[in-house]
Amino acid sequence: MEKEVQNKIFEEILSEHRGVFFKIAKTYCKDETDRQDLLQEMMINVWQALPRYKSDFKLSTWLYRICLNVAISSYRKNAAVPLHIPIEDDDNQTIVEHQEGDKQQHLQMLEKFIDELKDLDKALMLLYLEDKSHSEIAEILGISPSNVSTKVLRIKEKLKQRFSKLDK
């Protein structure tokens, strides 16, 4: 693949799927500086893998695999960083102010819940919330679709328990 073509496709991926990069970075990395590094590392890896991309593969599956693989490895590298940033963060403050009390509490709970999950469960939950089908999640993670269903059910059950405690 010529460099010019590679750059062009890369720019297209960034403009169409940039949300994937940022959602994963935000889920796995709470520190702003580390997050920028993680974003860069994900982008580099996508760029480097581009010549090997086969169109018979769904682009989003391919992209999620790279970004999650990088995020999980880098996250481990920066594990000393606190897992959860309080909602009062500067970055979040403006939005939080506009949210209703209950919703804000639920959102805070969801964020905290995801933060506390193990790396791979976190990826599973992220893909589930992104409305990916069980078979696509299975393809990204490398486990069977039935295993995905079981795990999603288990995690959702835990989450429901959390929410029910909050609602009481």
The residues that touch another protein, with contacts defined as CB under 8 A, are 7, 10-11, 14, 18-19, 22-23, 26, 36, 39-41, 43-45, 47-49, 52-53, 62, 65-66, 68-70, 72-74, 76-77, 79-80, 91-92, 94-95, 99, 103, 106-107, 110-111, 118-121, 123, 129-131, 139-144, 146-147, 150-151, 156, 159-160, 163
Tell me which residue of 88, 67, 56, 76 sits closest to 19, measured CA to CA: 67
**Smallest distance from another protein to CB 45, Å:** 5
- Residue 62 CB, nearest distance to another protein (Å)? 6
> From CA 34, how far away is CA 32, in angstroms rounded?
6
Nearer to another protein, 84 or 160 (CB): 160
Write out the two tokens for 100: 């209703």
DSSP 51: G
Write down the least CB distance from residue 23 to another protein, Å. 5
Closest contact distance (angstroms) between CB of 30 and another protein is 12
Q: Rounded CA gap, 145 and 135, in Å?
A: 5
Integer CA distances (angstroms), 143 to 65, 73, 104, 136, 163, in order: 13, 19, 34, 10, 28
